[in-house]
Chain A
Amino acid sequence: MRTTAHRTAARAAALVTAAALALAACGGAGGAADSGGSGEPVTGGTLVYLDKGTFDTLYPPQAGFYPNGGLVNNVTDRLVHQNPATLELEPWLATDWEINEDATEYTFTIRDDVTFSDGAPLTAEVVAQNFDLYGLGDEDRALIVSEAVNNYASSEVVDDTHVTFHFDAPAPGFLQATATINSGILAPSTLEGAFEDFGPGNAVNVIGTGPFVITDEEIGTSVTLTAREDYDWAPASADHQGRAYVDEVQVQVTPEASVRVGALLSGQADLAREVPAQDEERVTGAGLDLFAPQTRGVNNSLSLRIGNDILADLRVRQALVAGVDRQAIVDTLFTDNYPLATSILSSEATGYIDTSEHYDYDPTRAEQLLDEAGWEVGPDGIRVKDGQVLTLTVNEALPQPRSFEVVTQISQQLREIGVDLQILRADAGTYAEAIQDADQVQIYHSMVGRADMDVIKSQFYSTNRNTLLNRDPQTDQITDPELEGLLEAVASEPEHEARIAASQAVQTYLAENAYVIPLFEEPQVFGAQPDIRGVAAESVGRPTFYGMWLDR
Chain B
Amino acid sequence: MTADAQLRGDGAVPPPAPQQRAVDGARSPVRRVLSSRVARRLLQAVGVLLLAFTAAFLLLQAMPGDALLIRFENPELGLSPEQIAELREAYGADRPLVIQFFATLGAFLVGDFGYSVQSGTPVRMLVADALPQTAVLALVSFATAVLVAFGIALASTYRRLAWIGDLLRAVPSLFVAVPVFWLGIMLIQVFSFQLGWVAVINPGPVEGLVLPVLTIAVPISAPLAQILVRSIDEVSTSPFVAVVRAKGASWSWVLWRNVLRNAMLPALTMAGILFGELIGGAVVTETVFGRTGVGRITEQAVSNQDTPVLQAVVLLAALVFVVINLVVDLVYPLLDPRLRERAHG
Contact = CB atoms under 8 A, between A and B. Distances in A.
Interface of A: 2-7, 9-10, 13-14, 16-17, 48, 50, 54, 56-57, 62, 64-65, 137, 139-140, 142, 144-145, 147, 194-202, 218-222, 250, 252-256, 258-259, 262-263, 265-266, 268-269, 427-433, 435-436, 446, 448, 458, 463-467, 473, 476
A4 B303 CA distance: 9
Contact of A2 (B196, B200, B279, B288): B279
Contacts, number: 193
A56 B119 contact: yes
A3 B300 CA distance: 11
Q: Which 6 A-B pairs have the closest CB atoms?
A: A429-B65, A199-B120, A196-B120, A463-B80, A464-B78, A147-B78
Interface stretch (B17-25, B67-75, B99-107, B243-251): B67-75
B185 A3 contact: no
B89 interface: yes
Interface residues of B, number: 68
Main secondary structure of the interface of B (DSSP, over half): helix
A258 B299 CA distance: 19
A197 B75 CA distance: 24
26 contacts: A2-B280, A3-B302, A6-B283, A10-B284, A56-B119, A65-B76, A139-B90, A142-B91, A144-B77, A195-B120, A196-B121, A201-B121, A202-B121, A218-B292, A219-B121, A219-B126, A220-B297, A221-B291, A255-B290, A266-B194, A268-B202, A427-B63, A433-B69, A446-B76, A464-B80, A467-B75
Nearest to B72: A144
A358 B231 CA distance: 72
A446 B276 CA distance: 37
B303 A428 contact: yes
Given A139-B90, A464-B78, A199 B121 contact: yes
A263 B280 contact: no
Contacts of B90: 139-140, 142
Contacts of B79: 144-145, 147
A142 B120 CA distance: 9
Contacts of A458: 78
Among B80, B122, B200, residue most surrounded by chain A Cβ atoms (within 10 Å): B200
A253 B290 contact: yes
A14 B185 CA distance: 10
A17 B292 contact: no
A436 B75 CA distance: 9
B196 A266 contact: yes
Contacts of A6: 180, 280, 283-284
Interface string B162-194: 000000000000000001111001001100111
A199 B202 contact: no
Contacts of A258: 185, 189
Contacts of B304: 428
Nearest to B287: A255
A250 B199 CA distance: 15
A268 B181 contact: no
A145 B185 contact: no
A429 B77 contact: no
Contact of B305 (A14, A250, A428): A428
B83 interface: yes
A541 to B, nearest CB: 15
A259 B188 CA distance: 8
B164 to A, nearest CB: 31
Contacts of B291: 221
B83 A139 contact: yes
A140 B194 CA distance: 52
Nearest to B125: A201
B77 A263 contact: no
A422 B119 CA distance: 32
A30 B121 CA distance: 42
Contact of B81 (A252, A427, A463, A467): A463
B87 interface: yes
Contacts of B115: 196, 199
B86 interface: yes
Contacts of A218: 129, 292
A465 B78 contact: yes
A266 B14 CA distance: 61
Given A142-B120, A220-B129, 13 more contacts: A4-B302, A9-B181, A13-B179, A17-B182, A195-B120, A218-B129, A218-B292, A219-B129, A266-B196, A433-B64, A435-B75, A446-B76, A463-B80
Contacts of B80: 463-464
B130 interface: yes
Nearest to B195: A266
